[in-house]
Structure 1
Amino acid sequence: MVSSLIDIENRRWNAELIRSLFLPFDANTILNIPLSYNLPKGKVIWIGNRKGEFTVRSAYYITLKVIESDEVGESSYGDPRIPLWGKMWLLKIPAKIWIFSWRACMNALPTKLNLNRKGIDTTVSCPICDQEAETIMDALITCDSARQVWDRWVECPVNLSSAHLDVSDIALKILADGTSKDLETFFVTSWSLWYSRNQVVFETNNQTPNQVWNFARRITQDYKEASNLFSCGDGNPSSIEVIIKDNRGETIAALRMPLNGQYPSLETEVIALEKGVLLAKEMELQQIMLETDALTVVQSLLIGNKEGDLEHLLQGISDTLNPFSSWQIKHLKRDCNRVAHELAQLAKFTGTKQVWKGVSPPTVQHLIQLEKV
């Protein structure tokens, strides 16, 4: 039974028991499931998205993550590009650009010349400049329009115009002389050039070199920002800090504690909110104002929308709030919540739960003074 793995008294996973029963990967997976203090009845949810509902799209993305962690297969034995294949799957780029990059390195893109060689009745000239036969190198590197795009990469670690090179040769040279970020720039910009080329061929929509270059930069930035939503930080267990102030702004209680698992920032904020409500209840406070920098949590509690993978935590908070004579919740910018976040980091080093009532811990006093400066 799952309940046998829970420390009922402290309402937490029994980490010691779990680690003794399961392999490390499975134990960490269990410990990374946040528990509500109220321990509601179990419910099956899909953790592949925020709604908690299975979709083919979310399953596809999870499968890609599994593939990403796999090693390159033995079929590549003897291939000088093995180091490149291994590095490519670790790049922080969208999956479609991984696939495009591999096809470009394998000369497997449907350029005019490649289509002609497959017996398709088409001209072989470049659809952009109409001067050279459209090879992959022409489409991505040597065409005048492509060169104008690459000219914007002022910190390129290799000479892209070197003769007798193909895409995989260039990628290997970047791998040897540059960084992972350089390799990401090369492949994302190449994809952007190919996308622009297809816009000309199929949509008769021509983009300027600046537009192609900036489009590639936006793709990189958007992907990394989206990835950060699911990032759990530095690999250490998460930690929380709760501060309770009176109506004069004076600290009357605080809680600092490390958590068993490693949670994304949103889950950590929800757990901190729940612990704060429980501490306020323990102190027999009747009217409370909750403050958090998690806007989605504020909205969910205000409108009563408690769905997805945080449903049990949000419902637990709502149930715990019922005995209070009144409560409100408002959103703070992260900068305004800096004291709690900095104290939460200290919990990682102490490794123990600490609670102060009726007195403000020295670290809180010090940080609040700094915040007022």
Structure 2
Amino acid sequence: MQEFAFGLWRIWKNRNDVVFKGSHCQPNEILTVWRKNIGEYREAMNHGSLDEGAVRPLKSPLMMPALWEKPQFGTFKLNTDASWCSASFRAGAGWVIRDFAGILHAAGGSGTSTFHCAAAAEAHAIRTGLQYCTEYGFENVFVEADAKTVILMINKGTAPNCSFECILGDIEVLARRLTSVTFGFVPRERNRAAYSVAKFVFKEGKDFVWDHVGPEFLFNVLAQDYVPVSLSFHITCSVSQLQTAAAKAVNDRVFERNEICLGLPSKGSMAADTLDLLKDCQLPVKHVNPGQYVAQIPQLAFLGVDIEI
């Protein structure tokens, strides 16, 4: 699969050189560059050199950074985070509320408070988010924060820090006002939305509250959170198959393809140039019946070829 992907990319690059630069390369030159690109890629992926001609498959599917996880139906997830400066003791507390569909309902933060330690600032962020939940009717809440020690204190997993025990007491009182509330730890990489809000309010030194629209910087972070966590896929150039695969990826998150299909234009100068380019690369397209939209490349028996209308 790696060889095929790099082969398509090298063919496309060579085609661009011919069209835009008037530069023509011999098939042997293209193959040399192709082998070099594959070798460099595998060396980077495996953090070491490979023997010439060796083939090593990827050890795992393409992994995206760990992302935010949606709560259960009927539950709102409150993510909180804090940004704290040890020199000035100034803190920025941020929070974000999303529902089971991942839709933003509110976000905000405070950049005007000071605390003697980062843990106190983290606890203040949780308190601020819970205050908004109680005031605006978010009854079933799952609170996530990347301050593990603070979460343990709230869940009675460790003794509270007496220096900000009053904040922990406020959190307990606010939690009792809700129908249900759960506190959980989440790594920083899955708490990016609240982290971005905390940084913003810290920088501005003001208090902010946004509705479901939210600020532009937060919109970009929320959009990234909707990308599937893990994708395992093969390459296809058929538009209809891409659409089907994309829909399946959304539902199943992980999908695999056993067939590879290359879509080629059927008319005009683009069709002729494409066929000529493949022929120059010793990959001639065999299209026996012009009335059909299926062809073959004999050198690549595993590849299906669709002639697109």
TM-score computed with the length of structure 1 as normaliser: 0.36
TM-score computed with the length of structure 2 as normaliser: 0.43
Please state which structure has a larger fraction of its residues in strand. 2
Please state which structure has a larger fraction of its residues in helix. 1
